[in-house]
Amino acid sequence: MPVRFGIRAEQAKWELALPDGARRLIASGDFDGRDKETLACWLRSEPVLSQRLLVWCNTPMYNLSRPYQTLDDAARVMEPCDLSRLAFLCWVRGMMLPEKRIDNYSRDRLWAHSIAVGSVANLIARTCALTDPGLVMVAGTLHDIGMLASEKLDPVAFAETISQTDHLSPLHEVEQEILGWDHTQLGQIILRQWGMPDAVQTAARYHHEPDRILGQPDGQTVACVAIANFLCNRSGWSSTKSAVLLPPSEATFGLLGIDSALLAVLWQQLYPAIESASGLR
């Protein structure tokens, strides 16, 4: 692998480092719902994050009843791991601000795609009775974090790759041709540095080639994200205007037990799932 990738990964380690509160949140086990105190400490030090989180807790994806007035109200109702994961995604959303456009890419479009994939991956996981749909949503939402990293760390090289993508040349293939590596590899490295669960790291790395990982422990998570990514792209929720993806293999669908009838059901539920997460902006 070119040395350039090692340099970029090292650069990401310092320039895309987690804030102390998020790092402690992950280390304390909040992603598994073992503790609330770390989350509370982090939120007390991040008023903007806290305000965004309260808005998100009141979106249809998380609350269909009376609006929560405070985060304490939300914490009394929501599962601790759901609240912690949502807070982390709120922080990631902040990384994509302010808006920036390069050719047919924009940070707002990337976030809209990311949260759409997360919500649809969650739908697929719930439909297929996976054990932790919430973690699958995190994996779906973070699957393209390497794309954001590429844009932030080397906007000139990123602009070059974006300019050469079209309906026959997807971004990850162009990146391999120009750079010798792609955003899936960088994304995995960043998520590993952040201490994200293995399933989240693996989904970022293999969402464009799920067949390579189907027999592994995190194969089902990768399959959910790969299928969600494809469905969102087909329905117009793509990361760039020129994004194009081939459908996942029959083996990828088969791993989750998705046949043509179940796929039709997922298509019917696709837009409601994306709409339920539309407030996560």
pLDDT digits (tens, 9 = 90+) for 41-52: 999 999 999 999
Distances (CA, A) of 2 to 9, 117, 179, 182: 12, 30, 8, 12
pLDDT tens, position by position, 257-273: 999 999 999 999 999 99
What's the CATH class of domain 3-16+98-276? mainly alpha
86 vs 92: CA distance, rounded Å: 10
pLDDT, average across residues 150-174: 91
Identify whether the C-beta of residue 16 lies closer than 8 Å to the C-beta of residue 190.
Answer: yes
The span from the CA of 33 to the CA of 93, in Å, is: 22
Instruction: Catalogue the E-assigned strands of 81-128.
Output: 101-102, 105-106
pLDDT in tens, 208-221: 999 999 999 999 99
Q: What is the pLDDT of residue 1?
A: 47
Report how far residue 201's alpha carbon sits from residue 158's, in angstroms, rounded to the nearest whole number. 22
